[in-house]
Amino acid sequence: MAANNSKKAVLYAIVVNAIITALKFLAAFATHSAAMMNEAVHSLMDTINQIFLLMGLTRGGRPADQEYAFGHGQKKYMWNLWSAIGLFSIGSGWGLAHAWHVYHKLELVERPASVAFAGIELNPIWVSVVVLLIAFVLEGYVLYIAGSELHARMRKEGGSNIVKYLFSADDPTLVAVVLEDTIAVTGVLLAATGIGLTYITDNPMWDIGFSVVIALMLGLAAFFLGKVNMRFLTDVRDPAAEQAFRDVVSGHHEVEAYHDLRSVIIDENHTVVVAEIEMREEAMMGDLRVRIKRHEQALRQSVPDKRRQQKDLEHYITSRAVVQATLERTEEVIDELEAELRQKCPQVSHLTVEVQGIAEEPV
């Protein structure tokens, strides 16, 4: 369900940003605005980036196979990392280069007094206002959808600080969409401010200055998203799953102690937990006696009459019954631990428990 909601947010973002990109480029070429051009580049990078995010969701959702034992989930983070560092860095560099170029060619740039549209002469400021207003409404709508999903997940996980949650959320795809659309809405406001001040003061440096701020925002987005995705590509632990395992073990009357508890997040829906446990002697023994007797009876009944008089048969039956009963109960304990852990933490897809034996003395 979480992946489907993330994909929905990404699809909305792709469609909206593709429309906005076309409108901004048309307005930038018509008005010769540096801020509008950097906003167009910004929206273009957003669109391509979100296509990358969609590819990551699609490829990362494939199940486990012979080559990928725990599924393809980490491909999602790799695609996100490439898009964040690559596209946003390119967008930032392109925007800064364009602002630099416009600044050095300022005296050569002729700003149009009017823009012809459908036979009507329009003031360039109104072209920019209409395009930015459309962009603000559409990008605000996408931000509302993605932000609502992120807020719902935060509340479900008991969080209250949205900024703090952005740094710790397990779904970097949704984080990327929210961050991109937040920056997109902010970029529209910055572009509008730069274009408006240029129109009021007749000083194009406002337009250039705010275009630089927009480009720098893209660079910061690349850094932040790169950091978020790198966290999941470096075998990060899952503290919630580990704490849940501790709670489950402490409440199980047949487990005396645990050791070497570790976890690794494969993706937001798959965590692997590994631990060693020691069984509690007094809790195991009572149930084992009953199990051993049951297995002994079953083994004796399965032996043909002609073999029941063999000298070592009784010793074999007793030894095998002990082994079977012990293994049977040990497997049940591990299954119980796994079931309880998954109930507390549904993202735990694999639990590997090594039984060290029976504890020598209570801890």
Q: Are residues 47 and 27 both part of a single domain?
A: yes
Residue 205 lies in a domain: yes
Mean pLDDT for back-to-back runs of 10 residues, the chain (363 residues) = 63 84 86 78 80 79 73 74 72 80 68 58 75 88 84 80 74 76 86 87 86 84 77 76 92 86 82 88 70 81 70 78 82 88 89 77 48
Residues 166 and 215 in one domain: yes
Asked if 288 and 324 count as a contact pair (C-beta separation under 8 A), the reply is no
Give me the pLDDT at residue 363, please: 44
Rounded to 5 degrees, φ, ψ at 203 are -120, 105
In a domain, 363, yes or no: no
Q: Which domain holds residue 212?
A: 2-231
Determine the Cα angle at 217 with ends 214 and 221, to 5°: 145
Last residue of a domain, one of 187, 210, 231: 231
Identify whether residues 258 and 303 lie together within a single domain: yes
Q: Looking at residue 175, which CATH number applies to its domain?
A: 1.20.1510
Distant-in-sequence contacts of 359-362, Cβ < 8 A, 24+ apart: 359/256, 359/257, 359/278, 359/279, 359/280, 359/281, 362/256, 362/280
CATH number of the domain enclosing 351: 3.30.70.1350
* Residues counted in the chain: 363
pLDDT for 242: 92
